[in-house]
Amino acid sequence: MAKVLIPTPLRQYAGNQKEVDIAGATVGEILTSLTSEFADLRKHLYTDEGKLRSFVNVYLNDEDVRYLDKDKTAAAPGDTLSIVPSIAGGGR
Amino acid sequence: MIRIEAGAWAVMLEHAYSAYPRECCGILLGAENPGGERVVSAAFPCRNAYEGDQSDRFQIDPRDQVRANLKCRAEDIDIIGFFHSHPDCDAYFSATDLKNSWPWYSNIVLSIRQGAFAGAGSFRANDDQSQSETEELTYPSALPAPAADVAETAPGVESPS
Ligand SMILES: [Zn+2]
């Protein structure tokens, strides 16, 4: 069970909730169960090929899961999983 | 429509001044009221994580958003957007800004010319980030002055005003 924090723009696809408690032993299990509960979230988080979109970051507590064990990263009860938008810019 | 409260505005300008001539970036915290007006009650300055020439590039470190989320949860406010500066350049939303933004958020751009505030704009991307719309922006008219260049001042020595 982890607390999943939904970024403001995606809350409309998650029953207007800021955070959702989702069961699962790994990051992958939690995200799968999150996107089956809220199907509209899926296309915002994953590509058609089922890969996490490049402009979506997933943090377990304060670590990027890409640098942990990705989908297989173990989540302990009480952990916080944050979906974090990539934001950048520049150019004149 | 988005309104910036005085404390947040001071943090934004100070962050832009201290980063100049590089771009600064940060997170806008606050709420959208039922009438659709957004109020920025706090600004969360971030380090510019872009690796390379930062005079016309910025990248928000996702870990700073994780930290900002802690503040939001404690104070029951939300991340409602982001800000960055354009050193010696107008306050517009560039194609790169648009491509690397997200829909829904307010994106405030501060123009800083020769180290001083020279205008601001707020922009929102559409759902597929193909276009942005200007959003009506209000901010306090009293501006904090650019900070003295502390890098050239010896510790304990007051800089001339
Ligand atoms: Zn820009």
Express each pLDDT in A19-67 by its tens digit.
999 999 999 999 999 999 999 999 999 999 999 999 999 999 999 999 9
On the question of pLDDT at B154 being above 90, the answer is no
- Judged by CB atoms closer than 8 Å, whether chains meet at A87 and B57 is answered as no
pLDDT digits (tens, 9 = 90+) for B117-139: 999 999 999 998 999 999 999 99
CB pair distance less than 8 Å for A62 and B23: no
| CB proximity A16 to B under 8 Å | no
Domain positions in chain A: 2-85
CA dist B115 to B20, B53, B58, Å?
A: 6, 18, 18
Q: Which of A10, A16, A87 to mutate to test the interface with B (most CBs of B within 10 A)?
A: A87
Q: Name residues with Cβ closer than 5 Å to ligand 1, which is an ion.
A: A 89; B 94, 97
Q: Would the CB atoms of B62 and A57 count as touching at under 8 Å?
A: yes
Instruction: Give chain B's length.
Output: 161
The dihedral built from the CA positions of residue B15, A57, A81 and A64, taken in this order, carries a sign that is: negative
ipTM above 0.90, yes or no: yes
A2-85 topology per CATH? Ubiquitin-like (UB roll) (3.10.20)
Could you give the domains of chain B?
A: 2-138 (3.40.140.10)
- A11 or B160, higher pLDDT: A11
- Predicted confidence (pLDDT) per residue in A2-29, tens digit: 999 999 999 999 999 999 999 999 999 9
Nearest-neighbour CA in chain B from A87: distance (Å): 5
> In angstroms, what CA-CA distances link A17 with A5, A8, A36, A86?
9, 9, 16, 21
